[in-house]
């Protein structure tokens, strides 16, 4: 229960952060990605602001034996660079560059879109969820080895073992 409240609270902070920074607006993201055009460096300041907190804090947090409210830290275990990682990042990059939407803003932008009557945002977010669903179906059928806990599809091997 407490962990659910923590998730609600941190999610709210996240939603406020995305909105205050202007990053819910895909036009602002495209303004950053368009280095050859009328460049808007705001996204770099967002990254710097976030990293100002996480770069010092996360190593300290991960040196604790466990999280304050949970049994263990749930972290990705893979270490190697592979085609899945780089190919996935490249596909994401194309979609991000075409639209200016990445997953967090695509969720948050639904609220102002609902208020302002912008169905285009729902078209994007719906397609994004469909893409995630598609990946889950395909990887569930083909790739039996999905070592990363964050991944969709079959449960991690450690959960199956008796």
Partner 1 sequence: MEDFTPINGLVGGLLLGSATALLLWLNGRLAGISGIVGGLLSPKSGDAGWRVAFVAGILLGAFVCTLVAGGGDLVQVETSLPVLVVAGLLVGFGTRLGSGCTSGHGLCGLSRLSRRSVAATLVFFGVAMLTVFLVRHAP
Identify residues 43-102 at the interface with partner 1 (CB under 8 A). 43-55, 57-59, 61-62, 64, 66-76, 78-81, 84-102
Hey, what's the torsion of the CAs at 19, 21, 22, 26, to 10 degrees?
-100
Evaluated on CA atoms 81, 87, 92, 97, the torsion sign reads positive
Residue 94 or 161: the one with the smaller Cβ distance to partner 1 is: 94
- What would the two tokens of residue 38 be? 């009328």
Q: How many residues bind partner 1 (CB under 8 A)?
A: 129
Which of the 8 DSSP states describes residue 30? H
Measured from the CB atom, the residue of 3 and 144 that comes closer to partner 1 is 3
Q: Least distance (Å) from partner 1 to the CB of residue 158?
A: 12
Give, as ranges, the residues between 105 and 134 that touch partner 1 (CB under 8 A). Answer: 106-113, 115-116, 118, 120-121, 123-134
Closer by beta carbon to partner 1, 86 or else 144: 86
Q: Measured from the CB atom, is 144 or 150 closer to partner 1?
A: 150
129 SS3 class: helix
Show contacts with partner 1 in window 4-43 (CB under 8 A).
4-28, 30-31, 33-43
CB of 144 to partner 1, least distance (A): 15
Min CB(63)–partner 1 separation in Å? 11
Cα separation, 77 vs 97, whole angstroms: 29
Whole-angstrom Cα distance, residue 68 to residue 61? 10
- Nearest alpha carbon to residue 14 among 55, 63, 53: 53
Burial of residue 40 (number of CB atoms within 10 Å: 0-12, 13-18, 19+): middle
Shortest Å distance, C-beta 157 to partner 1: 13
């Amino acid at each position: 229960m407490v962990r659910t409240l923590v998730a609600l609270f941190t999610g709210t902070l996240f939603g406020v952060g995305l909105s205050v920074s202007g990053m819910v607006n895909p036009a602002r993201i495209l303004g950053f990605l368009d280095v050859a055009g009328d460049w808007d460096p705001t996204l770099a300041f967002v990254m710097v602001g976030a990293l100002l907190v996480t770069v010092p804090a996360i190593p300290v947090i991960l040196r604790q034996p466990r999280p304050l409210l949970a049994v263990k830290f749930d972290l990705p275990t893979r270490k190697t660079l592979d085609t899945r990682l780089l190919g996935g990042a490249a596909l994401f990059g194309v979609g991000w560059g075409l639209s200016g939407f990445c997953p967090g803003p695509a969720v948050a932008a639904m609220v102002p879109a609902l208020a302002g009557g912008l169905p285009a945002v729902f078209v994007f977010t719906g397609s994004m969820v469909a893409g995630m669903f598609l990946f889950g179906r395909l990887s569930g059928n083909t790739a039996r080895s999905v070592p990363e806990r964050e991944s969709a599809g079959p449960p991690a091997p450690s959960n199956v073992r008796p």
